[in-house]
Amino acid sequence: MDKVIFDFDNDEFTLYQNGREINQKMPGLKIRKAEILASAGIIQIDLSEMRDLIQDLMEGQIEMEEFLEKGRVIIEDSIKSGFPEELN
């Protein structure tokens, strides 16, 4: 079974392939974390803005239509920011 482990904190990765383990130091791995994860289809989304928007809706400060539009924009922007520019 093939498996890859990325250790972004230590700029290392480990590859398990055909029963062998290969450890490799890879300077700069940490700064490429978002790009690597995005290439694997993994994104991290900060939804703190969405939490605030939900609070505004619950308190009656905004209407449902405004909530839906702003929520869509927040989610789209969050998803786009998780990918390298060339994938957007």
Which pLDDT tens digit goes with each residue over 16-66?
A: 999 999 999 999 999 998 888 888 888 777 788 889 999 999 999 999 999
Spell out the alpha helix ranges (H) of 1-88.
Answer: 33-39, 48-58, 64-81
Q: Which pTM does this prediction carry?
A: 0.54
Of the pLDDT bands very low, low, confident and very high (cuts 50, 70, 90), residue 74 is confident
pLDDT at 77: 82
Q: How far are the Cα atoms of 3, 6, 11, 84 from residue 33, in angstroms, in the given order?
A: 17, 9, 10, 10
Residue 87 confidence (pLDDT): 55
In 3D space, the residue among 27, 28, 20, 24 whose CA is nearest the CA of residue 3 turns out to be 20
